[in-house]
Structure 1
Amino acid sequence: MSRLVLWNVDLTLVDVSILTREAYADAFRQVTGRPLVKLTQHNGRPDSEIIFETLAINDIVAEDAHLPRFLDALAEAFAARRGRLAREGRMMRGAAETLRAVGGLGGTVQSVLTGTIRSNAVHKLKAFKLDRYVDFEVGGYGEEVYPKATLLQVAQGRARQKYGAAFDGTNTVLIGDSARDVQAAKIAGASMVAVATGRSLPAELREAGADVVLPDLSDPSAVVAAVESLTTPVHSA
């Protein structure tokens, strides 16, 4: 039996926003030779999109080489700060307990669907010992230039290839904190459990179409019940 649970990272499982802003500033200076003046809001968007918008609002004309250079610089800048993540960031309330509880559902594969680039997503979860609960190989990440809904389907394909099971809208759940996460799940045909731990209000999450809206992850049993009610696990191929 198999079901796929994909987790957003930032403001759903962890909050390391201060260090993320520092890393963006370092990467911007390295790539452009100028100080970062303005950084656009993340709000559930992928790093690839944030990078181009950040260049634009700082009056930098984007070129083809900017994205790969910025991604490399961002990975380097964030890795340099990985020792500070647990001290200066925080794990969201109930994150570890909920990941463990959802992972205890029979045949459940957990991974991430995040706007963060893969290396940084790994650093963020490792800092709080959350990496043990997720399979990073089948996730979707911010360096991949796809809309988030398409990235969800890419993650399903990766999970299908690795685990030999058909992952589709009947057995896939996205758990995240933003209205953009909800929209991505709906477009991709997956179920959505939204937690109001980010910048989107509960009413916004409901209006966007979330199947279940919870205040946070402090009640693992509520998340488990939601995942169970929204999925129909299937037998491996």
Structure 2
Amino acid sequence: MAALNRLVLWNIDHTLVDVGRVTREAYAEAFRHTTGRPLVRLAPTPGRTESEIIFETLAFNDIVTTDDHLPAFMPALARAFEARRADLKAHGRVLPGAREAVAALSRVSGTVQSVLTGSIQAGAVLKLTELGLAGGLDLEVGGYENGVYSKAALLELARSRAGEKYRTRFTESSTVYIADSPRDVQAAHIAGSPIIAVATGSATEAELRSAGAEVVLPTLADTDAVLRSVASLAHG
């Protein structure tokens, strides 16, 4: 068995899957449970952590935030996603090439795959499990929004967790992030790692290049291109 020397971290929403309808419904339920009011406007989500989305959503809906809102909102959001487990299968979808790319990388010796997401862990694991992507990913070592962390800090946390579990050191240059927004590009670079940006979210290829992504792909549909890009960027 080859030594483990490469860590691939996947963003989830709009990179691997599209579960936008379920996400909005879950947020609406959690918002109503937390504030007693209906959700009128959900904050933009691309590249953001759950805490950022929650605080901005509260502000957009004229809620004066207190220290109690975040610790109440996050478990309510987890319960709302759990209640929509069947909806994730019915209304969510795996984006083109995502399943094939994860499977192909799982066969590349020396490679560990996990996730780096702004989602809370319970919601993230549900999305991947219900849509059949969890098998190729080590979800124990991922970076999730379980507090108020930036994505850059979560990337470093995931790298540290993976190193501890596999008893090796995944450096900045041996870690590659695959995501879909300019904010993800910024987070990767703050954490010192390269990024493969895919134009499957709201950002165009031009916007992702302008943000400084080392590689930009239109989608994940070309599995060979994904493999080549990972090999060229993540140096063991």
CA distance in 2, matches of 1:56, 1:84: 28
Partner deviation per Cα, 1:201-226 (whole Å, 9 max, x = no partner) = 10111111111101101011110111
What one-letter code is carried by the residue in structure 1 that aligns with 2:35?
A: T
Pairing partner for 1:219 from 210, 219, 222: 222
- Find 1:198's aligned residue among 189, 201, 205: 201
1:141 aligns to what? Answer: 144
Aligned-partner Cα distance in 1 for 2:213–2:120:
25
Gaps of 5+ in 2: none
> Which 4+ residue blocks in structure 1 deviate beyond 3 angstroms?
none
- Equivalent in 177, 182, 193 of residue 174 of structure 1: 177
TM-score scaled by length of structure 1 = 0.96
Q: Is residue 104 from structure 1 mapped to residue 143 from structure 2 by the alignment?
A: no
Aligned residue among 152, 167, 179 for 2:155: 152
2:111 aligned with 1:114 = no
SS at match of 2:195: strand
**1:25 aligned partner:** 28
Match for residue 56 of structure 1 among 32, 56, 59: 59
1:127 Cα deviation from its structure 2 partner: 1.3
Of the candidates 82, 86, 90, which is equivalent to residue 93 of structure 2? 90
Specify every segment of 5 or more residues in structure 1 that has no aligned partner in the other structure, as ranges: none
Structure 1 contact 174–185 (Cα < 8 Å) conserved: yes
Paired letter, 2:114: S
What whole-Å deviation, never above 9, does each CA across 1:165-205 have from its counterpart, x for those lacking one? 11121200000011111111111110100110000110111
SS at match of 2:62: coil
Aligned-CA RMSD value: 0.9
What does residue 80 of structure 2 align with?
A: 77
How many pairs does the alignment contain? 233
- Aligned equivalent of 1:232, options 222, 230, 235: 235
1:12 counterpart letter in structure 2: T
Whole-Å separation in 1 of the counterparts to 2:165 and 2:50: 26
CA distance in 1, matches of 2:162, 2:146: 19
- Aligned residue in 2 for 1:127: 130
User: What's the secondary structure of 1:84's corresponding residue?
Assistant: helix
Q: Give 1:144 deviation, angstroms.
A: 3.0
Any idea what SS the aligned residue of 1:6 has? strand
CA distance in 2: counterparts of 1:129 and 1:214, whole angstroms: 23
Q: Give CA deviations for 1:74-101 in whole Å, capped at 9, x if unaligned.
A: 0001110011112111110011110011
Does the 8 Å contact 2:51/2:145 carry over to 1? Answer: yes
* 1-structure distance, mates of 2:213, 2:40: 35
Contact 1:46-1:143 within 8 A present in 2 as well: no
Q: Distance in 1 between matches of 2:147 and 2:116?
A: 11
How far apart are the structure 2 equivalents of 1:144 and 1:138? 16
TM-score (norm 2): 0.97
Deviation at 1:42, TM superposition (A): 0.3
Conserved 8 A contact 2:92-2:131: no
Q: CA deviation at 1:61?
A: 1.2
